[in-house]
Amino acid sequence: RKEVEQDPGPFNVPEGATVAFNCTYSNSASQSFFWYRQDCRKEPKLLMSVYSSGNEDGRFTAQLNRASQYISLLIRDSKLSDSATYLCVVNNNNNDMRFGAGTRLTVKP
């Protein structure tokens, strides 16, 4: 079993839709959590950190559920430019960062 698991998708949604991704992790001692975005054949880029209390950045909302060991990303009012692969990242201990394989999102006109 992978340490960080994501539904690979693809999620195909129309512009303006709300879409949510979940990610589960297996290490209960994991300390910090992140979502990265990766465009096709490009490098990953940090989208947002995920805080215990949940956090929002514009149309993006991230939540953490430690008891069930999952994190989520909600995208509201999807734009064409949101099309990308979203990577869930879990930091176990300093340099022990574990990446999920990613969830692919395509937003269609």
Q: Which residues bind other proteins (CB under 8 A)?
A: 2, 4, 8, 32-34, 42-46, 49, 87, 89, 91, 94-102
Rounded distance between C-alpha atoms, residue 11 and residue 107, angstroms: 8
Nearer to other proteins, 80 or 97 (CB): 97
Q: What does DSSP say about strands 11-14 and 103-108: parallel, antiparallel, or unpaired? A: parallel
User: Smallest gap, in angstroms, from Cβ of residue 109 to other proteins?
Assistant: 28
User: Smallest gap, in angstroms, from Cβ of residue 84 to other proteins?
Assistant: 14
Rounded distance between C-alpha atoms, residue 106 and residue 59, angstroms: 16
User: Smallest gap, in angstroms, from Cβ of residue 52 to other proteins?
Assistant: 14
Nearer to other proteins, 19 or 100 (CB): 100
User: Smallest gap, in angstroms, from Cβ of residue 94 to other proteins?
Assistant: 5
Rounded distance between C-alpha atoms, residue 69 and residue 81, angstroms: 29
Nearer to other proteins, 11 or 34 (CB): 34
Q: State the CB neighbour count (10 A cutoff) for residue 47.
A: 20
Nearer to other proteins, 2 or 79 (CB): 2
In the chain, % helix, strand, coil (3-state, to 5) comes to 5, 55, 40
